[in-house]
Amino acid sequence: MSEEKKPLNFIEHIIEEDLKNGLDPKDLKFRFPPEPNGYLHIGHTKAIGISFGLGEKYKAPVNLRFDDTNPAKEEQEYVDAIKEDVSWLGYEWAEECYSSDYFQQLYDWAVLLIKQGKAYVDSQSSEAMAEQKGTPTQPGVDGPYRNRSVEENLDLFERMKKGEFNEGEHILRAKIDMQHPNMLMRDPLIYRILKKHHHRTANDWCIYPMYDWTHGESDYIEQITHSLCSLEFKPHRELYDWFLDQVVDANKIRPKQREFARLNLSYTIMSKRKLLKLVEEGVVSGWDDPRMPTISGLRRRGYTPSSIRKFVETVGVAKRENVIDVSLLEFCIREDLNKSAPRVMAVLNPLKVVITNYDADKEDWLEAENNQEDSQAGFRKVPFSNEIYIEKDDFKEEASDKFFRLKLGGEVRLKNAYIIKAESVVKDANGEITEVHCTYSEDTSKKVKGTLHWVSIKHAVKAEVREYDRLFNDEAPDSHNDKDFMEFINPNSLKIIEAFVEPSLADAEIGQQFQFQRLGYFNVDKDSKTGQLVFNKTVGLKDSWSKQKPKTEANQPKPQQKRPAIELIKQYGKKYDRLPDDKREAAKADIQELAKQISYEDLEPLFNTSVKKSGTRIITMISLGVLLNNGLEKNEAIHAFIEKALEDKNKLLVEEASAL
């Protein structure tokens, strides 16, 4: 039976089209270009999976290239961590490259631009330059240093390189067009002075190239065919191509930049700057804290490479930004560990059970199956004695017929062992139950509804168990304009428990993964030492989060599920042009605020709205205005949408279109 072929994603379609148009398959080459200013997180796994996945599909090399052009934020620690993470995910890179490898070539090309009159040294303040740059709707103006002579520019740039000037005193800019519709093309920065120690080049350089200058030229040096990056770089593509135009040889591969939607995860922060803040302020124990969305944090928590790769594959490659529910990631690790994790018994909240008709000097070693999902996993022996621990929640003095665990007068089955019946309880001075006295029966053929896990007290091994909850109790903690993301930290994200585990775990090694029966999946943390076991809870057996989400504060209602901003904007379209003036103004302000959270890809489908639906066309125009003010460049579709609106009979629509 032939293997079912998966449909191609849009990037694969681009590559297939290039191959049809004459690109030699042997020339295909990709890269993953992280900046070593922090640890990789779950969002990066998509970029990693796309580039390395294409390498595997097309049997093409993939470079690991470090974009190390900002020594103020980059460290060797991050380089090492990134290499470890990519390797752990199961990917092999063809070449380990660094943008710093190309500093001399980038400098030489910058000198060439100056000689051709395409770059100049600007000596203004950053505030003055920002003011001259204009806005998305207003063209920029030429600065006073734009027409410096080639000789003066060469002299100043050479002296910048020698360290004669202070940081911020001069910069090198490309000389393109200060009136260009795309603000990124308005004489962008190429070099700035940074007198910082570089983790690879030490103090050899005190001027460093900007990302936009470095990105495409590095791709060209390495002869990358397809430079894949996230959607926020789409407006940069025009500049990427302009910079390449200045240096490419027609006989060599010219890289092509294409963009895909980032991976966004609910209840998660993806900004490395914000993750660093969590580390620096001690909210977490480090970059690899198991609550962190970093790959090293997920690894320490017990996630497997295969579960993360499955997650990325399930999410797929998209052109539009969206937020993936973190429960999908948890589903993937749960599915993976269900097949591979040995089943063991552990008690996290112990209640002592005394079996009165079992000899105190007696013990049995009973056979227990290691994993019913794996026929090769075999069996182990677990000890049984007259005193055992069960979970406190598994016993009630009195309970209804729907309680299928242990209650006075009731019977339950002990996993891999006997049937017990609760006869009486022992309580302390506060009325708390400290012991349950039971009798046991060796007749295990009896039908009883409940089965409990347990641990023999005299054989039990003490262990520290770290139970984790979501680090944030808000679905989108960094989406609130009026609040700091730190306000949504879940104060109960870590619970440390003294637990008891069966003796087979006494020699468990760091990283080993287990299913604690009826409780969830756990792995041995790196803090474990001989005689001091530490387990991290990876994930529960079921998705309990959907039933009860954490509260922001005690006695506060549960946070409401947030609808995508574009859907909220569309709701206004049904009635916008029929609202009274005061309510329409309030609605417009709300739409403009919501529009800050959407992408062009969200909005473009609304350009084709029927003429009859004037309200939807108006709210689309209002939202488009926000995107344009935030740097979106006008394309043919935008021009056509505005021109059509200007011819409309609806005054409100014409008014909004005229403003653009």
**What beta strand segments (E) does 271-403 contain?**
323-324, 343-344, 346-347, 350-355, 364-369, 379-384, 387-391, 395-396
Pick from 209, 227, 262: which residue ends a domain?
A: 209
Residue 462 burial by Cβ neighbours in a 10 Å radius (0-12, 13-18, 19+): exposed
Domain that holds residue 611: 565-659
Instruction: With a cut of 50, say whether residue 437 has pLDDT above it.
Output: yes
In a domain, 511, yes or no: yes
CA distances (Å), origin 126, targets 73, 129, 169, 206, 317: 20, 5, 10, 19, 38
In a domain, 172, yes or no: yes
Instruction: With a cut of 50, say whether residue 555 has pLDDT above it.
Output: no
Which CATH number do you get for residue 159? Answer: 3.90.800.10
In a domain, 369, yes or no: yes
What pLDDT is stored for residue 402 in this prediction? 87
* Helix, strand, or coil (residue 295): helix
Instruction: With a cut of 70, say whether residue 64 has pLDDT above it.
Output: yes
- Confidence grade of residue 553 (pLDDT, cut at 50, 70, 90): very low
> How far is residue 140's CA from residue 183's CA, in Å, rounded to a whole number?
8
Same domain as 347, residue 489:
yes
**Single pTM value for the model:** 0.79
Same domain as 443, residue 350:
yes
Same domain as 354, residue 483:
yes
Same domain as 574, residue 655:
yes
Q: Look at the chain and report how many structural domains it folds into.
A: 3
Same domain as 488, residue 444:
yes
How far does CA 149 lie from the centroid of its chain? Answer: 47
134: left (phi over 0), alpha (psi -120 to 50) or beta: left
In a domain, 454, yes or no: yes
> How far is residue 418's CA from residue 366's CA, in Å, rounded to a whole number?
10
Same domain as 412, residue 475:
yes
* Mean pLDDT, residues 110-124 taken together: 98
Same domain as 571, residue 541:
no
What pLDDT is stored for residue 557 in this prediction? 40
Which one-letter amino acid corresponds to residue 239?
A: L
Same domain as 537, residue 493:
yes
Which CATH number do you get for residue 535? Answer: 2.40.240.10
The three state secondary structure string of 470-508 is CCECCCCCCCCCCCCHHHHECCCCEEEEEEEECHHHCCC
* Mean pLDDT, residues 296-321 taken together: 93
In a domain, 293, yes or no: no
How far does CA 600 lie from the centroid of its chain? Answer: 22
* Mean pLDDT, residues 547-565 taken together: 49
Identify the residue with better confidence: 542 or 359: 359
Pick from 209, 231, 257: which residue ends a domain?
A: 209
What pLDDT is stored for residue 545 in this prediction? 56
List the catalytic residues: 35, 262, 272
pLDDT digits (tens, 9 = 90+) for 438-486: 999 999 888 898 999 999 999 999 999 999 999 999 999 988 888 999 9
Same domain as 569, residue 534:
no
Lowest mean pLDDT among 28-37, 237-246, 248-257, 557-566: 557-566
User: How many CB atoms within 10 Å of residue 151?
Assistant: 10
Same domain as 527, residue 471:
yes
In a domain, 68, yes or no: no
> How far is residue 233's CA from residue 228's CA, in Å, rounded to a whole number?
10
Pick from 163, 193, 209: which residue ends a domain?
A: 209
Same domain as 524, residue 380:
yes
How far separated are the first and last CA of the chain, in Å rounded?
58
In a domain, 486, yes or no: yes
Is 500:350 a contact under the CB 8 Å cutoff?
A: yes
Query: Which residues does 210 contact at the CB level (< 8 Å), separation at least 6?
Result: 69, 188, 189, 190, 191, 192
Same domain as 646, residue 599:
yes
What pLDDT is stored for residue 561 in this prediction? 43
In a domain, 141, yes or no: yes
